């Protein structure tokens, strides 16, 4: 009977929906007046200025409510500027939490993002000044998403780069059908930016050297999979061989996503006609 009770309890624990109370949220200092707001597995960039608070990416509605309630732990200035790094729903939902903010997105972003209409559109590059902070926005071109903006904050020299790369962390699953050569081009574009601290939307804060390592990972992955496919190996062969390569075994999500990275790369190389 006792054993049965425990089993039912365990099943119930798995069946419980994830609620707002379960979300893991905190404001993490990065450098100077720059912070990351962690909401489960996603991060917003927060820049505190004398004129107001700049936020990059709303994530979702509950995250906005929490941030508005907790922003007073670091500043008395509300969110006056909301920048969208790109339009993917897992980063770009819930912007209505900041109804008075200037809403900034790339010219290629949708007319309205989760019901919020951008009030300012930027092109290839744009420099925004808020209080004593300079915020440089640079479009990274197409790849993971075509309306991607990298954000560099000065004087802290922090770059917020979303989804294209993250310090010592594998790219997400199978690249979602993206043009991976364009994606590599986005990393190359980010490498041209002048910054010291790499603040990502997923994973841990790093340095610019971590962006260079992310580029090397992509190039290694592409070269390894392409060589295998050209020598007649199947995707399954590639997966069993390349998961043995432990060069990146200490990176986040290696166990979970290495096989998917290989499969995604193999499919991309085949469908883009690079194998034959």
Binding site for Zn ion (CB under 5 A): 88, 163
Rounded to a whole number of angstroms, the minimum distance from the CB of residue 85 to Zn ion is: 8
**Which CB, 108 or 224, lies closer to Zn ion?**
108
Rounded to a whole number of angstroms, the minimum distance from the CB of residue 74 to Zn ion is: 26
Q: Give the residue nearest to Zn ion (CB).
A: 88
Cα of first residue to Cα of last residue in the chain, in angstroms, is 63
Rounded to a whole number of angstroms, the minimum distance from the CB of residue 88 to Zn ion is: 3
**Which CB, 49 or 87, lies closer to Zn ion?**
87
**Which CB, 163 or 210, lies closer to Zn ion?**
163
**Which CB, 164 or 242, lies closer to Zn ion?**
164
Rounded to a whole number of angstroms, the minimum distance from the CB of residue 261 to Zn ion is: 16
**Which CB, 136 or 163, lies closer to Zn ion?**
163
Task: Identify any residues that bridge with 105 across adjacent strands, giving them in sequence order.
Answer: 121
Give the phi and the psi of residue 143 in degrees, each rounded to 5.
150, -100
Rounded to a whole number of angstroms, the minimum distance from the CB of residue 252 to Zn ion is: 17
Rounded to a whole number of angstroms, the minimum distance from the CB of residue 162 to Zn ion is: 6
Distance CA 182, CA 175 (A): 12
**Which CB, 42 or 154, lies closer to Zn ion?**
42
């Amino acid at each position: 009977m006792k054993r049965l009770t425990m089993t039912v309890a365990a099943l119930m624990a798995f069946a419980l929906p994830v609620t707002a109370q379960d979300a893991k949220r905190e404001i993490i200092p990065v450098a100077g007046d720059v912070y990351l707001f962690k909401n489960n597995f996603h991060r917003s960039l927060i820049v505190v200025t004398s004129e107001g608070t700049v936020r990059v990416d709303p994530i979702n509605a509950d995250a906005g409510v929490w941030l508005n309630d907790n922003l007073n732990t670091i500043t008395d200035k509300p969110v006056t500027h909301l920048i969208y790094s790109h339009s993917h729903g897992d980063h770009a939902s819930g912007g209505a939490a900041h109804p008075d903010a200037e809403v900034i997105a790339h010219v290629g972003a949708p007319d309205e993002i989760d019901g919020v209409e951008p009030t300012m559109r930027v092109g290839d590059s744009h420099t925004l000044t808020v209080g004593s902070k300079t915020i440089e926005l640079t479009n990274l071109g197409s790849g993971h998403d075509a309306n991607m903006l990298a954000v560099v904050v000065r004087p802290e020299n922090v770059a917020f780069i979303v989804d294209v790369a993250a310090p010592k962390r594998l790219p997400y699953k199978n690249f979602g059908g993206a043009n991976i050569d364009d994606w590599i081009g986005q990393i190359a574009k980010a490498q041209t930016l002048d910054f010291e601290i790499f603040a990502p939307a997923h994973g841990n804060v790093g340095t610019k050297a971590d962006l260079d390592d992310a580029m090397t990972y992509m190039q290694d992955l592409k070269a390894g999979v392409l060589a295998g496919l050209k020598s007649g190996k199947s995707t399954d062969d590639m997966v069993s061989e390349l998961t043995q390569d432990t060069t990146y075994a200490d990176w986040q999500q290696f166990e979970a996503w290495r096989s998917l990275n290989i499969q995604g790369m193999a499919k991309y190389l085949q469908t883009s006609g690079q194998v034959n």
